[in-house]
A and B are shown apart, each in its own frame.
Chain A
């Protein structure tokens, strides 16, 4: 019986192709936007999480605003932080914008990143050629530079920059390495920049001070305890002031990202919900028309012994199938959109079961809710009147 009803419903949908197609448009748009959203959201979250995990989950970042007397951390301070228990590495960072001159090529406003040799042990810092910073470069304050992939191409098109000399704010540096092009949010700005030893940057590039330090600590140690110890140490360094620096941990960034994503998702889900509502009303309208058109058929079926609940089921199933059709198209469209979006934004694209379940769930729900009134109308028709209807 159920099989026959489904075949009949499908037949009725197919026989009114244009009308069915237009009617399910609302469902298509609603489901497509939900699916695209969810997949993109999941992709973005996975991307950010992956990046943060790649940078090392066991890390605290210290950002220093400093006081007029003591605007940044000194070499001595860094040694102190390195000496804290659990701490495995302290990576100072500086950053400045300078004019770069390389032979005939000049470029203003290039970012110079002051880094330590340990920086090159973190993920996403692969080299395309040459060498990384060596501890000796730091110790001897060598004027060496490692170019970002894009900058290297710009300054030395189609030739190796290794061994070339360039000038940063008038100071001569030797290029010893070139970074591989890095992807993702947090690393991408290095592509257009240049890396030098942080203590060299500090000395020769005015305004380039150690304002940011990544403090790495042993896997499995208590983040809170390390944080507390770091806080105490920094408060000591800044003469009892704890308001001139901040300590952020990765989880905080993750949480913030999650909050933003959730807000966005909620907002766009609202839009999707409205289109599903409008789509549902469209379905109801079409089903009401269908019931009127098929009054005679309903009368006949009733005369032949169809109980009211079977008539109701027939029209409900038709509404649900109509919605499922829209849901399936919407699912395909949403996945296609998410795929294109992922390509454009460089996210990973993964098809999971959840959006499919969601699309099916939404479709069935919309079909049932908005099919109920027409189905009820059909089931309540008086067979005598209905049979006379032509």
Chain B
């Protein structure tokens, strides 16, 4: 298929200034991800994979190079525009769930929709839809501290899906879970992907990476190996 890739990084570099000295964290990264892929970005800590995720998630912009996400050139965008792109096109799943403790599961999942222009009735349908999809709709009224780690991560995944984003970015999604629960969560990502959603996982864990159909190895700020596309 010769469609334009969903994610396209061309010669992307990222530098930080530490004590007046430029430190390059990402060096000329080229990466393309097609719609519907499930891929893992695998690398040890300090490899630059977190910086890469921040750029992919539009939390940060490249110092050099071009990044297209679902047809949008993410460069020279202001903070407000970046926020809108994140809201519409990216669904985040964090290692430590990042649920707001004072809100129940329903309200946590609803949060991204509040920052979009989604009408209230549709909001409700969508929230229950994704809670159903991750198998946690019976816990809609529960607060995070009343949920197990696995349940919390399901709520977080529901939150990532609720805006129907172009890509779901999962940063060490099993890092805070025991092995069995971690496997169930990974199975959930597989299901979500099977339903057509693009999933990108960032991890240092090979066991997690093996759930992906493509593994992108990052080392010292560069792509050291790319496990190919599903169609390859």
A→B interface (CB under 8 Å): 1, 4, 11-12, 15, 296-297, 300-310, 383-384, 387
Contact B100 A297 (CB under 8 A): yes
Given B79, B80, B83, B98, which contacts A300 in the complex, CB threshold below 8 Å? B98
Q: Measured between alpha carbons, how far is A164 from B170 in the docked complex, in Å?
A: 105
B57 at interface by CB-CB < 8 Å:
yes
Q: 10 interchain pairs (CB within 8 A)?
A: A301-B115, A304-B92, A305-B112, A305-B115, A305-B163, A306-B83, A306-B115, A307-B80, A307-B115, A383-B59
B→A interface (CB under 8 Å): 54, 57, 59-60, 79-80, 83-84, 86-88, 92, 94, 98, 100, 102, 111-112, 114-116, 159, 163
Which residues on B sit within 8 Å (CB–CB) of A384?
54, 59-60
> In the complex, how many angstroms separate the beta carbon of A361 from the nearest chain B beta carbon?
29
Which residues on B sit within 8 Å (CB–CB) of A296?
98
Interface centre among B57, B84, B87, B163 (most CB of A within 10 A): B87
Contact B84 A305 (CB under 8 A): yes
Which residues on B sit within 8 Å (CB–CB) of A310?
115
Q: Measured between alpha carbons, how far is A4 from B87 in the docked complex, in Å?
A: 17
Contact A11 B102 (CB under 8 A): yes
Contact A307 B114 (CB under 8 A): no
Contact A307 B84 (CB under 8 A): yes
Interface centre among A297, A303, A307, A384 (most CB of B within 10 A): A303
Interface centre among A11, A296, A304, A308 (most CB of B within 10 A): A304
Which 4 pairs across A and B sit closest by C-beta, in order of nearness?
A305-B87, A305-B115, A304-B112, A307-B83
Q: Measured between alpha carbons, how far is A384 from B25 in the docked complex, in Å?
A: 15
Q: Measured between alpha carbons, how far is A12 from B102 in the docked complex, in Å?
A: 9
Q: A309-B80, A310-B115 are in contact. Are A304 and B102 (CB under 8 A)?
A: no
Contact A387 B98 (CB under 8 A): yes
CB nearest neighbor in B for A11: B102
Which residues on A sit within 8 Å (CB–CB) of B112?
304-305
Which residues on A sit within 8 Å (CB–CB) of B102?
11-12, 15
Q: Measured between alpha carbons, how far is A387 from B84 in the docked complex, in Å?
A: 18
Contact B111 A304 (CB under 8 A): yes
Q: Which label, helix, strand, loop or mixed, suits the secondary structure of the A interface?
A: helix
Q: Measured between alpha carbons, how far is A309 from B102 in the docked complex, in Å?
A: 22
CB nearest neighbor in B for A388: B50
Q: Measured between alpha carbons, how far is A238 from B94 in the docked complex, in Å?
A: 100
Which residues on B sit within 8 Å (CB–CB) of A387?
94, 98
> In the complex, how many angstroms separate the beta carbon of A100 from the nearest chain B beta carbon?
77
Q: Measured between alpha carbons, how far is A306 from B87 in the docked complex, in Å?
A: 8
Q: A384-B54, A387-B94 are in contact. Are A304 and B86 (CB under 8 A)?
A: yes
CB nearest neighbor in A for B60: A384
Q: Measured between alpha carbons, how far is A309 from B79 in the docked complex, in Å?
A: 10
Q: A11-B102, A300-B100, A303-B59 are in contact. Are A308 and B94 (CB under 8 A)?
A: no
With A303-B98, A305-B116, A307-B84 given, name 9 new contacts (CB 8 A). A300-B98, A304-B115, A305-B163, A306-B83, A307-B79, A309-B80, A384-B59, A387-B94, A387-B98
Which residues on A sit within 8 Å (CB–CB) of B94?
387
CB nearest neighbor in B for A5: B114
Which residues on B sit within 8 Å (CB–CB) of A304?
86-87, 92, 111-112, 115, 159
Which residues on B sit within 8 Å (CB–CB) of A305?
83-84, 86-88, 112, 115-116, 163
Which residues on A sit within 8 Å (CB–CB) of B59?
303, 383-384
Q: A1-B114, A297-B100, A383-B59 are in contact. Are A303 and B80 (CB under 8 A)?
A: no
> In the complex, how many angstroms separate the beta carbon of B145 from the nearest chain A beta carbon?
14
Q: Measured between alpha carbons, how far is A303 from B111 in the docked complex, in Å?
A: 11
Q: Measured between alpha carbons, how far is A384 from B92 in the docked complex, in Å?
A: 13
> In the complex, how many angstroms separate the beta carbon of A301 from the nearest chain B beta carbon?
7
Q: Measured between alpha carbons, how far is A15 from B102 in the docked complex, in Å?
A: 9
Q: Measured between alpha carbons, how far is A383 from B79 in the docked complex, in Å?
A: 10
Which residues on A sit within 8 Å (CB–CB) of B87?
304-306
Which residues on B sit within 8 Å (CB–CB) of A301?
111, 115
Contact A302 B83 (CB under 8 A): yes
> In the complex, how many angstroms separate the beta carbon of B77 from the nearest chain A beta carbon?
12
Contact B98 A308 (CB under 8 A): no
Which residues on B sit within 8 Å (CB–CB) of A383?
59
CB nearest neighbor in A for B79: A308
Which residues on B sit within 8 Å (CB–CB) of A303?
57, 59, 86, 92, 98
> In the complex, how many angstroms separate the beta carbon of B218 from the nearest chain A beta carbon?
18
> In the complex, how many angstroms separate the beta carbon of B70 from the nearest chain A beta carbon?
14
Q: Measured between alpha carbons, how far is A15 from B112 in the docked complex, in Å?
A: 23
Q: Measured between alpha carbons, how far is A361 from B162 in the docked complex, in Å?
A: 40
Q: Measured between alpha carbons, how far is A296 from B96 in the docked complex, in Å?
A: 12
Which residues on B sit within 8 Å (CB–CB) of A12?
102
Which residues on B sit within 8 Å (CB–CB) of A307?
79-80, 83-84, 115
Q: A11-B102, A300-B98 are in contact. Are A308 and B80 (CB under 8 A)?
A: yes
CB nearest neighbor in B for A296: B98
Q: Measured between alpha carbons, how far is A281 from B60 in the docked complex, in Å?
A: 35
> In the complex, how many angstroms separate the beta carbon of A345 from the nearest chain B beta carbon?
48
Which residues on B sit within 8 Å (CB–CB) of A4?
114
Q: Measured between alpha carbons, how far is A305 from B59 in the docked complex, in Å?
A: 10
> In the complex, how many angstroms separate the beta carbon of A296 from the nearest chain B beta carbon?
8
Q: Measured between alpha carbons, how far is A308 from B84 in the docked complex, in Å?
A: 10
Q: Measured between alpha carbons, how far is A297 from B98 in the docked complex, in Å?
A: 8
Q: Measured between alpha carbons, how far is A308 from B80 in the docked complex, in Å?
A: 6
> In the complex, how many angstroms separate the beta carbon of B101 from the nearest chain A beta carbon?
9
Which residues on A sit within 8 Å (CB–CB) of B60?
384
> In the complex, how many angstroms separate the beta carbon of B90 from the nearest chain A beta carbon?
8
Q: Measured between alpha carbons, how far is A306 from B84 in the docked complex, in Å?
A: 8
Which residues on A sit within 8 Å (CB–CB) of B100?
297, 300
Q: Measured between alpha carbons, how far is A308 from B87 in the docked complex, in Å?
A: 13
